[in-house]
Homo-oligomer: A and B are copies of this chain.
Amino acid sequence: MSFLRVLEMLGVAVFAISGALAAGRKSLDLVGVVVTATVTAIGGGTLRDLLLDRHPVFWIADTANLWVIFAAALGTVVWSRRWRPPERSLAVADALGLALFTISGAQIAEAAGLGGVVVVIMGTLTGVAGGVIRDVLTAEIPMVMRRGPIYATACIAGIVVYLLLEMAIPREAAALAGMAAIAALRLAAILWDLTVPVFSLPDRRG
């Protein structure tokens, strides 16, 4: 349980930073920055907890998550005024947050006694939903839906790696391997523009 909590807290911090940076690119005010950071950081886990009927929801149960988010958001504002984060560091932060959230979400679904396909969906949803809500609130088409380097696919692949490996090696090692797979796949996808084939129909709505 403490391993899960550490993962989740780390993911929360990293996603809060990525949310604050997204808000900065949209020139939101400081409240908007904190809202975006919070929604990005807790959106996926909150949706997971609601769907699995886990109460109290993780950030109500452990408000340290909220203080981590506020610190990360305000730290990002202060810090980025002195030093511009290179694009690469953002991508790495986002890939790490994605990896941490996805595997911790999958583990929580597993701990709830759920089977393979629901574990995959719940892990992926924990990883991507915060970013989806962030994109909806800032009026962008969510990254999961856009054509571009693979995103949700990396989560799915990493969870499968985790589920297969934990049959052979200790759960913590399998979790680390699953996270490494997600982060590596996502970063490789950005570097080499790995994509999934597109399905295109002519738009023939009346």
Q: Taking the full assembly, how many copies of this chain does it contain?
A: 3
Per the bound structure, the CA–CA distance linking A121 and B84 in Å amounts to 30
Number of interface residues of A (CB under 8 A): 66
Does B147 contact A196, Cβ atoms closer than 8 Å? no
Query: A201's contact among B24, B117, B156, by CB below 8 Å, is which?
Result: B24
Q: A195: shortest Cβ distance to chain B, in Å? A: 6
**A92 to chain B: closest CB distance in Å?**
14
Q: How far is the CA of A146 from the CA of B137 in the complex (A)?
A: 10
Q: Identify A24's interface contact among B67, B87, B200, CB under 8 A.
A: B200
Which residues from chain B contact A57 at a C-beta distance below 8 Å?
51
- Using a CB-CB cutoff of 8 Å, which residues 1-42 of chain A contact chain B? 20-21, 23-33, 35-36
Q: Does A144 contact B (CB under 8 A)?
A: yes
